[in-house]
């Protein structure tokens, strides 16, 4: 009963910002590729039976309007009143705004490679910022939030003349694919939550990064059966999850390969 109430549904929406982050952080931290078994993970990595092949995606059942990711527009529209009526939500809203303000004044994220972890911390930071600012924009409609997202997006696309950001055409670092997964989610949220606020040119620009720095690299990874796609562990969730979220954001806006030409590669045993 309780989980049907709009109040509870709204709580889920507010908590999404932090829960998703914590989930992704946790999954990414369990860096199975390098066998870090800090949480005694070895018992979790014994091979389960192969899952059944997925049924074809039903693109026709996808929501036509934005936002498509995590919560539809009706839930966002209902939020202000629910925040006013529910002290728990009031507190969450305040917390997110405070964090958004704190992040607002920071200089753009710097591209710093960290040993075997690539730019995972950089990608997570970009995602954290974009989530907070996009939320603040949706709730307040103040242009400065959107402008701050845009500034970060330009830098994290490798397009800023003032801040270098990784290797050209591979700025999201396919050498350490978790990073690409995290950047994809960050840009998908920027594109989708602020869809109505962007100009056509801005939309195209963000979509360009999702496709060229993320999804196209994902198709290449599938074509070469990259190890992480079928890994039993966090790499699978973060990389495939990033591709799914990135694809959902731009669905109907882009079709990378004509359907009759793209043949999925056989999956690993």
Ligand X SMILES: *[C@@H]1O[C@H](CO)[C@@H](O)[C@H](O)[C@H]1NC(C)=O
**Residues engaged in binding ligand X (CB under 6 A):** 80, 83-84, 93-94, 97, 139, 153-154, 157, 159, 205-206, 208-209
What length does the chain have?
A: 269
Whose Cβ is closer to ligand X: residue 165's or residue 235's?
165
Whose Cβ is closer to ligand X: residue 215's or residue 229's?
215
| DSSP result, 146-198 | HHHHHHHHHHHTT--SSS--SBTTBTT-GGGHHHHHHHHHHHHHHHHHTTTTS
Whose Cβ is closer to ligand X: residue 15's or residue 62's?
15
Q: How far is the CB of 205 from ligand X (least distance, A)?
A: 3
Q: How far is the CB of 206 from ligand X (least distance, A)?
A: 6
Angle between helices 120-140 and 73-85 (to 10 degrees): 70
Q: How far is the CB of 101 from ligand X (least distance, A)?
A: 8
- How far, in Å, CA of 160 to CA of 107, rounded? 13
Q: How far is the CB of 70 from ligand X (least distance, A)?
A: 19
- Mapping DSSP to helix (H, G, I), strand (E, B) and coil, where does residue 106 land? coil
Can you give 16-50 as a three-state secondary structure string?
HHHHHHHHHHHHHHCCHHHCCCCCCHHHHCCCCCC
Whose Cβ is closer to ligand X: residue 103's or residue 206's?
206
């Amino acid at each position: 009963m309780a989980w049907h109430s709009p109040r509870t549904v709204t709580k889920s929406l507010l908590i999404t910002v932090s829960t998703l982050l914590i989930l992704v952080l946790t999954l990414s931290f369990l860096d199975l590729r390098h066998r870090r078994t800090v949480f005694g993970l070895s018992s979790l990595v014994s091979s389960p039976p192969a899952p059944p092949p997925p049924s074809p995606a039903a693109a026709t059942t996808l929501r036509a309007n934005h936002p498509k990711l995590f919560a539809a527009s009706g839930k966002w529209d209902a939020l202000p009143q629910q925040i006013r009526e529910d002290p728990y939500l009031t507190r969450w809203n305040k917390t997110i705004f405070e964090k958004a303000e704190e992040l607002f004044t920071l200089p753009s994220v710097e591209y710093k490679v960290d040993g075997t972890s690539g730019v995972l911390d950089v990608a997570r930071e970009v995602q954290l910022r974009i989530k907070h600012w996009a939320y603040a924009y949706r709730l307040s409609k103040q242009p400065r939030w959107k402008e701050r997202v845009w500034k970060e997006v330009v830098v994290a696309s490798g397009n800023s003349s003032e801040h270098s950001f990784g290797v050209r055409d591979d700025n999201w670092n396919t050498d350490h694919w978790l990073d690409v997964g995290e950047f994809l989610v960050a840009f998908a949220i920027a594109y989708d939550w602020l869809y109505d606020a962007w100009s056509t040119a801005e939309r195209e620009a963000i979509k360009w990064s999702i496709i060229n720095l993320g999804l196209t690299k994902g198709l290449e990874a599938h074509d070469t059966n990259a190890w992480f796609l079928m890994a039993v562990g966090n790499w699978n969730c973060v990389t495939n999850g990033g591709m799914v979220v990135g694809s959902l954001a731009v669905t109907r806006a882009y079709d990378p390969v004509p359907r009759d030409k793209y043949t999925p590669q056989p999956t690993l045993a």
